[in-house]
Amino acid sequence: MSAQVLARLAVAMLAGALFGFGLSLSGMVDPARVVGFLDLASGHWDPSLMFVLGGALVAAVPGVLLQRRLARPVLDERFHLPERAAIDRRLLAGSALFGIGWGLAGFCPGPAVSALTLGLSSVLAFAAAMVAGMLLHDVGIARRPR
């Protein structure tokens, strides 16, 4: 294995560990906190995750600005950015499905993967449903012509 491949793996592992730690520290792996943030109608709204989202912006905006100035990433030949920018039916449907699932379960993929270390049956069930949905998409929806 080349030094560049090992460096990529090390950076990916460090970034993933830091991301998972941040999700755990912020409470994003607690479905009750997430549902409390998303539930504006109950009268018990929990605004604490707004600070998490603000912190994510504080970290992401300088990174995006830096990325736009670089010709290529340090450990790769090119940036791997989305090629499609159109807002179409599939994007809107997927976004709605993501939001509904996040609101109902209190998990989205990143926090769910981080919460797998807790070994809770609700997390395992969510992760299994998430994997099943990904497989269903790859087998059925992604192969259909647009």
Per the CB < 8 A criterion, the answer to whether 112 and 123 are in contact is yes
Question: pTM of the entire structure?
Answer: 0.72
**Of the candidates 113, 139, 138, 106, the residue with the CA atom closest to the CA atom of residue 127:** 113
Per the CB < 8 A criterion, the answer to whether 104 and 122 are in contact is no
Residue 143 above 70 pLDDT?
no
Which structure tokens are listed for 56? 């994510």
Residues 56-72 pLDDT 10s = 899 899 999 999 999 99
Which structure tokens are listed for 25? 């520290």
Q: What percent of the chain has pLDDT over 90?
A: 31
Domains of the chain, residue spans: 3-141
Residues 116-135 pLDDT 10s = 888 889 889 999 998 998 89
Residue 144 above 70 pLDDT?
no
The whole-number average pLDDT for the span 72-83 is 90
Question: Does 103 or 87 have the greater pLDDT score?
Answer: 87
**Of the candidates 7, 24, 50, the residue with the CA atom closest to the CA atom of residue 117:** 24
pLDDT averaged over every residue in the chain: 87
